[in-house]
């Protein structure tokens, strides 16, 4: 106490920083490998289709299957040029209601709204689950059952049902997204709310803390890391939910609506472009949550 | 400090027993324990693991209820004493809140007890100074060594100035050197504040060095084997360990522990 302990280490921080830096290397290597393989894999994937087209006597403006592989109208994998052209066509102008960025924002908005609803519902459910064993016994099987029904089967029914109450457009998709996203949040939060050490609960007892104080000062902050982990799972689930909702209900915008349209038209280039936009949206959502997590759980060691 | 003026015990334990049901039977964690602790005493509970030291402490703190016998704290039931926040408890593990920095951890009881907001920081800083951690108030628990974390938990227990302190092997997980340092600091703290301390340990020399009385416990069933008065002068320092009486007391305690073993 008068002599400070020799080990007052802040040494963990630099170590983990260098660990994070070294993560980028392998990741870039994989990206480079994927780029390198793109061309041969694309040729290989398209050659068969090109050969069949040539055999059927179609005039593709090219002689060999290999040469035609980069010029198919609906390629299995688009050639770089085709992909860039499709990308440009679906991106510019970005404000057009038919453009992929515009529709990505619509889907992203639905997903975020759905995620917020899911968090609220998940938090309430988790609190009740932790509060009462009998509530858990009564509801947990039903919560699990709710997740075993395929979302594709539920989405149209929910949309029709909600439509009868005048809920249309944006909101039904968000609700369908919330339907699959609340579950991981509820389970993760329940686990987090139960995570405090028994000694910490005893400690609060020696202070004569009220149940509200135990919740607010101990259980809730202890659950935050769990919340963010489950939110990352929930975010991708919610994204799937809103895209499925857009595909399986009457929609006028969203990536799901674009996917449905272009798959009916067999426009594979457009489908590839939309897929890339969906991936970007998914990554952005998870990154957003990661960023929130860093802000909220500032006290944690850098990892 | 050893001269106790008040005659009313601060803790009084009568025929206390605690039985835990376990699969296929029951464990007698504590049997027929009798003990009176006077204000200002430093009492150590010593014994092999499983002899009911923690159980006895938890009974006094109203963290569990006895299955037989009775006890009073401050002349009331342990429950009433807990409701009045009569004691601070230092657990075997620091049990700090990871998301709170050191200062904020020490302030926790002040927040829970709704003590005036203005005084909290000053009080917590004062406690941190007492345990020599004033330079670390902004650090988070993961940035501290085990010994420093345990000192934070002691500061936290002292923050609301309880007259009674329960400590369950607070230094059990620490190395010998850190431990002896903390022993010295704890003794100083006890002499300066006049608090009553009930301290659990399984180190004989720690018990002799710190205590006014050592309660020797034995296992299966957990019971109090005997009580040894430690009549070493205060203030105690490193040279107290060289005192011939120190060895006498240690031997006496060792004999009592052996008696329970036979
Ligand atoms: N909650 C409990 N349930 C069942 N058995 C327990 C419980 N707490 C303690 N015991 C048992 O009671 C005995 C005394 O335990 P404890 O007081 O922790 O001993 P000590 O602290 O001296 O090591 C041990 O045999 C232990 O297994
Ligand atoms: Mg113990």
Domain limits, chain A: 10-76, 100-296
| Least confident segment among A27-31, A177-181, A245-249 | A245-249
| Least confident segment among A36-40, A124-128, A199-203, A272-276 | A36-40
| Residue from B174, B125, B209, B210 nearest A6 by CA | B174
Distance B196 CA to ligand 2 centre (A): 20
Query: How many Å apart are CA B202 and CA B169, to the nearest integer?
Result: 8
Q: Is residue B119 part of a domain?
A: no
Q: Is residue B3 part of a domain?
A: no
Chain B CB within 8 Å of residue A218 CB: yes
Query: How many Å apart are CA A165 and CA A154, to the nearest integer?
Result: 17
Contact at CB, B185 and A199, closer than 8 angstroms? no
Q: What is the CA radius of gyration of chain B?
A: 18
Q: pTM, whole model, 2 decimals?
A: 0.84
| Least confident segment among A41-50, A121-130, B11-20, B141-150 | A41-50
Residue to mutate among A192, A202, A207, with most B CBs inside 10 A, is: A207
Q: Is residue B109 part of a domain?
A: no
Residues 84-123 of B with CB under 8 A from A: 85, 87-89, 91-93, 95, 97-101, 108-109, 111-113
What residues contact A177, with CB distance under 8 A and at least 6 apart?
Answer: A110, A111, A113, A114, A115, A118, A237, A238, A239, A241, A242, A245
Query: How many domains is chain B built from?
Result: 1
The CATH number covering residue B184 comes to 3.40.50.300
CA distances from A236 to A32, A81, A105, A117, A231 (A): 26, 30, 15, 15, 9
Average pLDDT over residues A78-100: 87
Residues 171-210 of B with CB under 8 A from A: 178, 181-182, 185
Q: Is residue B248 part of a domain?
A: yes
What token pair was written down for A152?
């594709």
Residue range(s) defining the domain that contains residue B59:
11-86+162-261
Q: Is residue B96 part of a domain?
A: no
The correct answer on CATH 1.10.3720.10 for the domain covering A100-296 is yes
Distance of residue B251 Cα from the nearest chain A Cα, in angstroms:
30
Ligand 1 contact via B17 beta carbon (within 6 Å)? no
Which residue numbers in chain B have pLDDT < 70?
A: 1-6, 262
pLDDT per position as a tens digit, A174-231: 999 999 999 999 999 999 999 999 999 999 999 999 999 999 999 999 999 999 999 9
Nearest CA in chain A to B83: A208
What token pair was written down for A91?
């991106």
Distance of residue A171 Cα from the nearest chain B Cα, in angstroms:
36
Distance of residue B225 Cα from the nearest chain A Cα, in angstroms:
28
B244-B250-B255 Cα angle (round to 5): 130
At A13 the pLDDT is: 38
Query: How many Å apart are CA B183 and CA B13, to the nearest integer?
Result: 27
Q: Is residue B118 part of a domain?
A: no
What residues contact A176, with CB distance under 8 A and at least 6 apart?
Answer: A114, A151, A154, A155, A158, A159, A241, A242, A244, A245
Report ipTM for this prediction.
0.92
Q: Is the pLDDT at A17 greater than 50, yes or no?
A: no
Q: Is residue B66 part of a domain?
A: yes
At B6 the pLDDT is: 53
């Amino acid at each position: 106490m008068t002599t400070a302990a020799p080990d007052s280490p802040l040494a963990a921080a630099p170590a983990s920083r260098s660990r994070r830096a070294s993560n980028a290397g392998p990741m870039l290597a994989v990206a480079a490998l994927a780029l390198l393989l793109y061309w041969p894999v694309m040729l290989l994937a398209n050659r068969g289709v090109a050969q069949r087209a040539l055999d059927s006597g179609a005039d593709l403006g090219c002689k060999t299957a290999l040469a035609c592989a980069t010029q198919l109208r609906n390629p299995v994998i688009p050639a770089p040029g085709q992909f860039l052209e499709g990308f440009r066509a679906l991106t510019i102008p970005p404000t057009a209601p038919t453009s992929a960025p515009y529709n990505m924002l619509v889907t992203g908005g639905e997903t975020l709204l759905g995620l917020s609803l899911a968090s609220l519902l998940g938090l309430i459910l988790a609190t009740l689950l932790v509060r009462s064993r009998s509530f858990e016994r009564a509801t947990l099987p039903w919560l699990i059952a709710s997740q075993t029904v395929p979302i594709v089967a539920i989405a149209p029914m929910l949309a029709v049902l909600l439509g009868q109450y005048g809920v249309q457009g944006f909101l039904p998709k968000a609700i369908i997204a919330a339907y699959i996203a609340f579950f991981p949040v509820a389970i993760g939060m329940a686990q987090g709310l139960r995570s405090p050490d028994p000694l910490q609960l005893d400690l609060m007892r020696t202070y004569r803390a009220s149940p509200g104080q135990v919740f607010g000062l101990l259980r809730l902050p202890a659950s935050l890391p769990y919340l963010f982990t489950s939110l990352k799972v929930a975010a991708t689930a919610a994204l799937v939910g809103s895209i499925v909702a857009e595909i399986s209900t009457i929609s006028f915008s969203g990536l799901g609506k674009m996917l449905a349209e272009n798959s009916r038209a067999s426009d594979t280039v457009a489908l590839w472009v939309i897929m890339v936009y969906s991936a970007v949206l998914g990554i952005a959502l998870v990154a957003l949550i990661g960023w929130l997590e860093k802000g909220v759980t500032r006290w944690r060691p850098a990892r | 400090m050893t001269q106790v003026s008040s005659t009313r015990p601060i803790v009084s334990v009568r025929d206390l027993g605690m039985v835990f049901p376990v699969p296929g039977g029951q464990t007698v964690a504590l049997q027929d324990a009798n003990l009176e602790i006077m204000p200002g005493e430093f009492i150590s509970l010593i014994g092999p693991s499983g002899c009911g030291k923690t159980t006895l402490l938890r009974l006094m703190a109203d963290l569990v209820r006895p299955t037989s016998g009775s006890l009073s704290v401050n002349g009331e039931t342990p429950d009433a004493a807990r409701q009045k926040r009569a004691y601070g408890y230092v657990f075997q593990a620091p049990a700090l809140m990871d998301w709170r920095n050191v200062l904020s951890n020490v302030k926790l009881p002040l927040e829970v007890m709704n003590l005036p907001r203005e005084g909290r920081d000053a009080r917590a800083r004062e406690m941190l100074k007492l345990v020599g951690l004033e330079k670390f108030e902004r650090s988070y628990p993961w940035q501290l060594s085990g010994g420093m974390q345990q000192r934070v938990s002691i500061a936290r227990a002292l923050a609301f100035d309880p007259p009674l302190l329960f400590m369950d092997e607070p230094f059990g997980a620490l190395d010998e050197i850190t431990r002896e340092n903390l022993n010295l600091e704890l003794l100083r703290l006890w002499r300066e504040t006049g608090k009553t301390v009930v301290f659990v340990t399984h180190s004989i020399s720690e018990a002799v060095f710190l205590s006014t009385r050592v309660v020797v416990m034995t296992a299966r069933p957990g019971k109090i084997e005997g009580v040894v008065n430690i009549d070493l002068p205060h203030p105690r320092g490193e040279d107290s360990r060289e005192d011939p009486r120190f060895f006498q007391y240690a031997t006496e305690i060792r004999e009592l522990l052996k008696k329970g073993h036979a």
